[in-house]
Amino acid sequence: MLFELRDVHFKDILHIKGMDISEHKTTCLVGESGAGKSTLLKLLNKMNIPDSGQVYYKENPLVGTDPVKHRREAVMISQAPLLFGETVEENLQKGLIFSEKPLAGREELMKVLTIVKLDKPLDASAEQLSGGERQRLSLGRVLLMKPAVYLLDEPTSALDEETEIEVMKSFIECAKGHGGTIIMVTHSTNVAEQYGEEIITISK
């Protein structure tokens, strides 16, 4: 099992008696707004620490692991994607810098832009991108990192339905090609039904 949660309490937001998340699958976290889905992702990323209970990663308590090392393995994209640097290329390379991996060549950068359906030159200004384009840029950045776990918080919320399905299809294929596990908060019934090998409903 990749993640296990046992008797986890976090503030008045999240109370989980038991939850298991499998490795090498796409798990979709669904539920009504305010149920604690984003909070759960942050627990898995060690951005949140439970008030009580334990989160295990590959059978080891997460509380004892180095947070930076863990976040290089379990990479998270927040709902409002952040920009790192001025150009599209700088933003794509930033994840590799963070994870202390060699920078990608031009061909690999262009390939990842194709995978996430972002038709922009590498020297384009990241500031000029729309919300949906920034989301796709963030997806491209984490794909280049090839982490063990992709933690995605509403990664397609700014995309129309057709683009959303196209982007997630190619993203998931690529991530799985690297042996990655995807854990995704999604509002999209379409995405959950088409790509969720496991669907976990979070309720208040």
φ, ψ dihedrals at 113, nearest 5°: -65, -35
pLDDT in tens, 23-42: 999 999 999 888 999 999 99
Given a cut of 90, whether residue 43 has pLDDT beyond it is yes
Give the Cα separation of 26 and 196 in Å (integer).
5
Domain boundaries of the chain, sorted by first residue = 23-48+66-201
Residue 105 has a pLDDT of 97
73 class by beta-carbon count within 10 Å (0-12 exposed, 13-18 middle, 19+ buried)? middle
d(CA 35, CA 120): 36
pLDDT exceeds 90 at position 188: no
The per-residue pLDDT for range 62-120, each reduced to its tens digit, is: 998 999 999 999 999 998 888 998 999 999 999 999 999 999 999 999 999 999 999 99
Residue predicted with more confidence, 110 or 159: 110
pLDDT value of position 197: 95
Strands 60-61 vs 52-57: parallel, antiparallel or unpaired = antiparallel
Residues 160-175, mean pLDDT to the nearest whole number: 93
Q: In what order do the strands lie in the sheet with 198-201?
A: 74-77, 149-153, 181-185, 26-30, 198-201
Question: Which pLDDT value is given to residue 139?
Answer: 97
What integer best gives the mean pLDDT of the chain?
94
Q: What is the pTM of this model?
A: 0.95
3.50.50.60, 3.40.50.300, 3.40.50.2000, 3.60.21.10: CATH of 23-48+66-201:
3.40.50.300
Q: How far apart are CA 99 and CA 162, in angstroms?
A: 32
Taking a C-beta distance cutoff of 8 angstroms, is the pair 65, 57 a contact? Answer: yes
